[in-house]
């Protein structure tokens, strides 16, 4: 993709899972990448593997001092900041039983931390002529889910935040978009099925037009696209990477009429 090589990206939550795939995809496209995460060991291992164009910086998104240090370390190592990708999140959620402390923690990590990271990086992005921000939403932002309140609400807020950021940062030549993944193969799915991807795809099939879960790399490539010059006229948008989940609604991916004859 055009416009990635030589640029500098910060990926929050970049040490593991989808975040690590985002880091790899950016690095593979020629970017220099800071892995901003509290998971130091896997993040450091990834940085060592990728070499001089990767930096691991321990970053707790609930601490402004950590965020400022991350941006400063990135600018010192790589000369500036072009892209911010807010992947990090917490899945803390007990629905109606969640405490006030749980709510504040979830919103602090999933929403406010990303805001503060963009705020800290913005002067560096302006100094380099602009850049791009990619926030991570979710299909959970758009539908009701039994027993889940904190995570879906925080992700819905991210979609509105993306629109507001896009409006206010456009004069700085900073584009802001979001990616909303559907069910994506991850460590939890791997553990629950003992590595049985086929079983996972069968469970996911009725909920996705493409009748499977997504691959982390498919989500990562969408995020890199939104940073690239190939997306130069896209801002304030949400890109569903969900195999058709959001398009379906209650119809699901199975012909309802056929069930009348079963």
Q: DSSP secondary-structure letter at 130? A: -
Alpha-carbon distance 58 to 44, whole Å? 9
Report which of 24, 27, 28 is spatially closest to residue 8, judged by C-alpha positions.
27
Predicted local distance difference test score (pLDDT) of residue 254 = 66
Does a structural domain hold residue 52? yes
What is the number of other CB atoms lying within 10 angstroms of the CB of residue 111? 21
Averaged pLDDT, 190-219:
93
Q: Residue 104 sits in a domain of what CATH number?
A: 3.40.50.720
Alpha-carbon distance 195 to 199, whole Å? 9
Does a structural domain hold residue 206? no
Of 47-61, 116-130, 185-199, 208-222, give the lowest mean pLDDT range: 185-199
Does a structural domain hold residue 211? no
Alpha-carbon distance 243 to 255, whole Å? 17
Cβ-Cβ contacts under 8 Å for 22 (sequence gap 6 or more): 11, 14, 85, 87, 219, 220, 223, 224
Residues of the chain above pLDDT 70, percent: 96
In the block, residue with structure tokens 């795809």 = 201
What is the number of other CB atoms lying within 10 angstroms of the CB of residue 62? 16
Predicted local distance difference test score (pLDDT) of residue 231 = 98
Does a structural domain hold residue 117? yes
- 251 or 67: which leads in pLDDT: 67
**What is the domain range of residue 221?**
8-184+216-261
Contact yes or no for 133/86 (Cβ under 8 A):
yes
Does a structural domain hold residue 148? yes
The DSSP annotation for 17-42 comes to: HHHHHHHHHHHHTT-EEEEEES-HHH
Of residues 78, 136, 151, 225, which has the active-site annotation? 151
b/e per residue 218-255 (b: at least 16 CB within 10 A): bbbbbbbbbbbeebeebbbbbbbbbbebbeeeeeebee
Does a structural domain hold residue 205? no
Predicted TM-score (pTM) of the model is: 0.94
Does a structural domain hold residue 200? no
Averaged pLDDT, 189-199:
91
Averaged pLDDT, 253-260:
54
Averaged pLDDT, 15-20:
96
Query: For the chain, how many structural domains are there in total?
Result: 1
Predicted local distance difference test score (pLDDT) of residue 261 = 45
Helix (H, G, I), strand (E, B) or coil at 158: helix
Would you call 151 a catalytic residue per the annotation?
yes
Instruction: With a cut of 60, say whether residue 185 has pLDDT above it.
Output: yes
Does a structural domain hold residue 203? no
Distances in whole angstroms, Cα of residue 172 to Cα of each of 33, 91, 118, 141: 22, 33, 13, 28
């Amino acid at each position: 993709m055009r416009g990635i090589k030589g640029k500098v990206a910060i990926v929050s939550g970049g040490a593991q899972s989808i975040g690590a795939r985002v880091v790899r995809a950016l690095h593979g496209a020629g970017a220099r990448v800071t892995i901003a995460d509290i998971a130091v060991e896997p993040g450091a291992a990834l940085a060592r593997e990728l070499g001089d164009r990767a930096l691991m910086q321990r970053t707790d998104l609930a601490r402004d001092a950590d965020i400022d240090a991350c941006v400063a370390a990135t600018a010192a190592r790589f000369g500036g900041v072009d892209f911010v990708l807010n992947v990090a999140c917490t899945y803390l959620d007990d629905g109606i039983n969640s405490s006030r402390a749980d709510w504040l923690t979830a919103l602090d990590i999933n929403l406010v931390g990303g805001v503060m990271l963009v705020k800290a990086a913005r002067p560096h992005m302006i100094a380099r002529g602009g850049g791009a921000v990619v926030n991570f939403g979710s299909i959970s932002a758009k539908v009701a889910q039994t027993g889940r309140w904190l995570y879906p609400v925080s992700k819905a807020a991210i979609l509105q935040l993306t629109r507001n950021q896009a409006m206010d940062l456009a004069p700085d030549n900073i584009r802001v978009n979001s990616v909303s993944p559907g069910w994506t193969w991850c460590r939890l799915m791997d553990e629950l099925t003992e590595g049985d991807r086929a079983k996972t795809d069968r469970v996911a099939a009725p909920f996705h037009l493409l009748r499977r879960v997504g691959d982390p790399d498919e989500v990562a490539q969408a995020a890199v696209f939104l940073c690239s010059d190939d997306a130069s006229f896209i801002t304030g948008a949400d890109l569903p990477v969900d195999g058709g989940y959001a398009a379906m609604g209650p119809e699901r991916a199975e012909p309802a009429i056929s069930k009348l004859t079963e």
